[in-house]
A and B are shown apart, each in its own frame.
Chain A
Amino acid sequence: METETHAAYKSRFLPWLLLLPTFVILLVFLYYPTLETFRLSFYRVAFLGLRKVYVGLANYREIFTNPEYLRIFWNTAVYSFLVVFFSMAVGLFLSVLANQKVRGWRFYRLMLIWPYALSPAVAGVIFLFLFNPQAGIVNYFLDVLFGLRPDWLTQPGLAMFVLVAAAVWKNVGYNVVFYLAALQNLPGDVLEAALIDGATPWQRFWKVTFPLLSPMTFFLFVMNTIYAFFDTFPFVDLLTKGGPNGATNILIYNIYRDGFEFFKTGLAAAQSVVLFFGVVLLTLLQFRLGERRVHYGG
């Protein structure tokens, strides 16, 4: 067998040669910047690297002792949890609905997936217009219906709500696509058996469908977590700039701000490293815990 697979290549070096472009790209655009980030996190850097002084763990000490940064960690945790939970819950709910063969199902599916095709920047601007306290359409309707005009982005809780809503709205389409695909590949016989045994729709969903979807839920959990940590920068930048008074400042936004607006490259690098390990840890944890619960049936 082995010799046969090798026979495809005339020389032992050819496969390596073919892999070379990939490795070069990984090395230049992934590994080198990552290592550089680790290195810079031990320096106090001025002007994006024109001058730097080795400071050991001072940047990390700052991050883990300064209450401002601890608050950013807390914000990040709350925000990520809400975004992941609601993106997936709403995504699952909508895809179960869209999985039914009702009239116009093609149209519904298209409309559900459509927000995903927008760039986060566009989604952010749309939400900014919607939630403008004085000229936005949300407050126009709230005023007409209930006589309310909340200052959406001025109140910490409301600002967080708008940010979560924007991120969820943008990502629900992604979850719908995957859940829909999973729902359509569910083994019909198991569901049929449940139906014959007289299970209610509620029971059928929670006892049969949901466990059968667990591999997909697990996959989406990882993807949504990554989304919430890394891809939500534009929403914060466009909607709140971390305000009011830092209430919506999350790690990915603060890294950008420290690095490119305040020129504190070393501190930003240290935060990147923390974020990196945070996500690695979370992913490992998910694999550990997830593995036991995930049911690769079918």
Chain B
Amino acid sequence: MKRVLVGLALMALAVPAFAAKKVQITFWHAFGGGRTAFIQRMVEDFNYTHPGIEVKAEYKGSYRDTLNAAILAARQGAAPHIVQIFEVGSQLALDSGIFVPIEDYVPAELKFQLDDYIKPVANYYRIKGKFNSIPWNSSNPILYYNKDIFKKAGLDPENPPKTFGEVMKACEKIEATKAAPKCITWPLHSWFVEQWIAEQGALLANHENGRAARATDVYIDSEAMRRIVEWWKAMYDKGYYVYSGKPEDWDGANQIFVSQQAAMLITSTSDVTFMQNAAFENGFELGTGFLPIPDGVERNGTVVGGASLWLTKGHPDEEMKAALTFLLWFTNTENMVRWHKGTGYFPVLNTSVKVLEWQHWFERNPAYKAAFDQLLQSKANRATQGALIGPFPEIRTIIENMIQAVFQGKPIDQALKEADAQADKALREYNAAVGK
């Protein structure tokens, strides 16, 4: 008996000793559902081909939950190595001081991969000339439309509306012909407002969208914003625009469009795969087009939405190296192709785009093409680079409240002015809190 126990004890000791040879890397992300499984399969492939490293991917809830969990873990000295952080959390992540600027850690022989990012993506994530994180999942808003309803209303199903005015006209036709109960839906989310601001070449914050220096003033009371709010309000008042009533309700908007209660939907390109399946299941033909923009302005392009992967500081050298190996593998050419096909998120490397083109992927899948063309046609300027604002999550809520107040009848002038003051106050308090 004793001998058996000793044997067991030895085995128990031996197992971790053997396993300890592997470098353990933790990776926290915010993708639930089918994407968790997708990520898991990729991680398993990595672990299989890299015997010295063991990566553990963990789903940590929403973007906000993931960021909170990472900061709390860092406080306790137990930060995960890699954290996925949403684009508007970039300034916050920089200010938190728990991450390293990743470009400094990329070995010289792998630097080429950083130069491979498509321009709009590099533009967003290169902050003051340097990649602080590895761009990963990137998306844009596009227009999805129901071709069957378009035909019923006598609209050209191959030519979706491209401007606010054209959307309004299409809605008039859809209402007149009763082709669908409502015309258009999109989540009541500040993200679309930010995109429409960028499309007009306007800025959302001073100091060149917070890119040249820390932003100290948010531009909500602006001409660009007024164009958006006026159109949105008119669409709402005429009953063309519908939403579930809850802010930031992506599922609610999808539900309205998929159940054919509305002819058009504006939402993220990352839903292309989902929408294609849903359209097939519900028996209608799906079309995609560029994000409609205000009339009479030049199309500047969209801001890259999504998230990037950040490396936390304070780990031993070999762990930092292993984490970086994983990051660069995870976002390399072939994995970006795989990621794009599996989810609809953009292939963010030039070389992966080439692979997809060589495979005639976009010709065979036109729904993905509109999304991608829109991104590639974006001009590279401060507007489409997107704003860097510390308290962005709070400012998003302020913008969403403002839209709802306007729906309820608050005069647009007053609503813009009040929201502008609130946003400036939030920014002031944030800047004071981070000591800048």
Using a CB–CB cutoff of 8 Å, the interface residues on chain A facing chain B are: 44-51, 53, 128, 131-135, 151-156, 159, 239-241, 243-246, 257, 260-264
Contact = CB atoms under 8 A, between A and B. Distances in A.
A51 B433 contact: yes
Given A133-B244, A245-B405, A51 B71 contact: no
B255 A244 contact: no
Interface string B85-113: 00000001001111000000000000000
A261 B63 CA distance: 10
A154 B406 CA distance: 11
B391 A135 contact: no
Contacts of B68: 48, 260
Contacts of B92: 47, 263
A237 B419 CA distance: 22
B401 A132 contact: no
Contacts of A132: 244-245, 252, 255-256
Contacts of B282: none
B245 A152 contact: yes
B71 A50 contact: yes
Contacts of A245: 401-402, 404-405, 408
Interface residues of B, number: 45
Nearest to A155: B408
A135 B246 contact: no
Contacts of B64: 260-261
A51 B435 CA distance: 9
B408 A156 contact: yes
B327 interface: no
14 contacts: A45-B433, A46-B433, A46-B434, A48-B75, A50-B71, A53-B433, A132-B245, A133-B242, A135-B255, A241-B248, A243-B401, A244-B405, A245-B401, A245-B408
A260 B394 CA distance: 11
B400 A50 contact: no
A133 B181 CA distance: 11
A135 B245 contact: no
B261 interface: yes
A261 B75 contact: no
Interface of B: 64, 68, 71-72, 74-75, 92, 95-98, 181-182, 185, 242-248, 252, 255-256, 259, 261-262, 391, 393-394, 397, 400-402, 404-405, 407-408, 426, 429-430, 432-435
Q: Is the interface of B mostly helix, strand, loop or mixed?
A: helix
A263 B91 CA distance: 13
Given A46-B430, A159-B245, A263-B391, 9 more contacts: A134-B244, A154-B243, A241-B248, A244-B404, A244-B407, A261-B64, A261-B393, A262-B394, A263-B92
Contact of B75 (A49, A128, A262): A49
A51 B244 CA distance: 39
A133 B71 contact: no
Contacts of B248: 241
Given A134-B181, A135-B255, A241 B408 contact: no
Nearest to B67: A263
B407 A154 contact: yes
Nearest to B400: A243
Nearest to A240: B246
A29 to B, nearest CB: 16
A49 B433 CA distance: 11
Nearest to A143: B181
A239 B246 contact: yes
Contact of B182 (A44, A134, A156, A262): A134
B262 A134 contact: yes
A131 B434 CA distance: 42
B259 A50 contact: no
Contacts of B402: 245
A128 B75 CA distance: 37
Contacts of B256: 132, 134-135
Contact of A50 (B96, B394, B432): B96
B401 A246 contact: yes
Contacts of A53: 433, 435
A128 B246 contact: yes
Nearest to B188: A243
Given A50-B71, A246-B401, A260-B64, A154 B432 contact: no
Nearest to B407: A154
Contacts of A45: 433
A50 B97 contact: yes
A106 to B, nearest CB: 38
Contacts of B74: 50
Contacts of B434: 46-47, 51
Contacts of A44: 429, 432-433
A264 B432 CA distance: 12
A134 B243 CA distance: 8
Contacts of B247: 241, 243
